[in-house]
Amino acid sequence: METQVDVESSIETDTKTPYDVTADVAGIKTLFVNVFYIGTPGPGNHWVLVDAGLMGYASQIKKRAEQLFGPGTKPDAIILTHGHADHTGSLDKLLSEWDVPVYAHKLELPYLQGKSSYPPPDPAIGGGGMSYMSWVFPIGPSDFGDRIKPIADNGKIPELPDWRAIHTPGHAPGHISLFRDKDRTLIAGDAFVTTNQNAITAVATQREEFHGPPAYFTCDWQAAKKSVLALNNLNPLAAGTGHGVSVHGLDLQLGLNKLAHEFESRSIPSEGRYVKQPAVTDENGIVDMPTPTSFHVARVLALSTLAGLTMYMLWSALKSDK
């Protein structure tokens, strides 16, 4: 029988990942998107889950939770930085086992309560395989009904008293980031990321580099710029992002500051559906959108990318058999 000391020892040594932010903010990657656990590790301790990763990762999310907080644990709440499918894919499965409140910004509710799909992706921008394939990504709407609660206008969440939610739109209309003032810890969601999420090779290697939000799903670039400037002004000391490894100290401060002050040249595409005119949304969802960019080129490139990956995997399998 495993003792409490044994559990605490395994928590300290066996579960650290490159996605952990601080001693009480742990993270894991679900294929290419991160989820976070806010709470001091230890059996029976209270904690909150931030985002729900991709579909099919509920078991992995629960396993990590039990490693951190003990068998049978469940969060006090789940907080969504936004409702894109890669951040909510396992939510329904988790809620079938966890009866806990779920919080999101009020401007995300139409996409989470079945009222509206998200603005469609713009696969012609971003310059990488993830961008080219984004036209196949689901845009909803999802319908979690009244299980989703709006975050208060003051950014306070009862189950997370030391933190505040900051509205950081651009990538999604109701995107939020979480900030803890006492130690300047940030969970940025997709307001900025620490890998080039547009490119399959960067996603695969998790090479650290500061980028604006994933280009193909960002529907308001000027709002995205203001959000990065606002987060930079907080001068965070540790940050976890929706994509890429966690960053700390001087690396974070220099990287985020450079991104904030060079956002237009480094992150905003020269052309694209939402570059000159954003999607217009409100509390009911989409109001108006600019004319779509042709998907034909993106579709051809996506199919070519998939074909290339398939051939590479076949070649690797044949080589390993020799």
pLDDT for the residue 119 = 96
Token readout for 271 is 């052309």
Residue 15's pLDDT band (boundaries 50, 70, 90)?
A: low
Torsion angle of the four alpha carbons 66, 68, 73, 77, in this order, in degrees rounded to the nearest 10: -130
pLDDT for the residue 78 = 98
Q: Minimal CA–CA distance to 255: which of 212, 307, 314, 309?
A: 212
pTM, full prediction: 0.87
User: Cα 105 from chain centroid?
Assistant: 15
Residue 50's pLDDT band (boundaries 50, 70, 90)?
A: very high
| Listed range (96-105, 122-131, 266-275, 304-313) with the worst mean pLDDT | 304-313
Question: What is the C-alpha separation between 125 and 9, in angstroms, rounded?
Answer: 47
Q: Where do the structural domains in the chain lie, given as residue ranges?
A: 4-321
Domain 4-321 is found in CATH 3.60.15.10: yes
Q: Which helix (H) or strand (E) holds 10?
A: helix 4-14
- Let me know: does 218 contact 241? Beta carbons within 8 Å: no
Q: Is the pLDDT of residue 85 over 60?
A: yes
- Let me know: does 36 contact 187? Beta carbons within 8 Å: yes
Q: Which amino acid is at 122?
A: D
* Average pLDDT of the residues in 83-96: 98
| Span 117-153, pLDDT tens digits | 999 999 888 877 778 788 788 898 999 999 999 999 9
Q: Is the pLDDT of residue 318 over 60?
A: no
pLDDT for the residue 294 = 54
Residue 36's pLDDT band (boundaries 50, 70, 90)?
A: very high
pLDDT for the residue 5 = 34
Q: Is the pLDDT of residue 24 over 50?
A: yes
More confident residue, 23 or 298: 23
The proportion of the chain whose per-residue pLDDT surpasses 90, expressed as a percent, equals 76
pLDDT for the residue 137 = 85
* Average pLDDT of the residues in 96-100: 97
Q: Is the pLDDT of residue 257 over 80?
A: yes
| Span 166-214, pLDDT tens digits | 999 999 999 999 999 999 999 999 999 999 888 888 888 898 999 999 9
pLDDT for the residue 2 = 36
Q: Is the pLDDT of residue 3 over 50?
A: no
pLDDT for the residue 128 = 79
- Let me know: does 155 contact 234? Beta carbons within 8 Å: no
Question: What is the C-alpha separation between 167 and 161, in angstroms, rounded?
Answer: 17
The proportion of the chain whose per-residue pLDDT surpasses 70, expressed as a percent, equals 86
Residue 303's pLDDT band (boundaries 50, 70, 90)?
A: low
pLDDT for the residue 126 = 80
Where do we find the tokens 């193909």? 216
Q: Is 122 helix (H, G, I), strand (E, B) or coil?
A: coil
| Listed range (118-127, 158-167, 310-319) with the worst mean pLDDT | 310-319
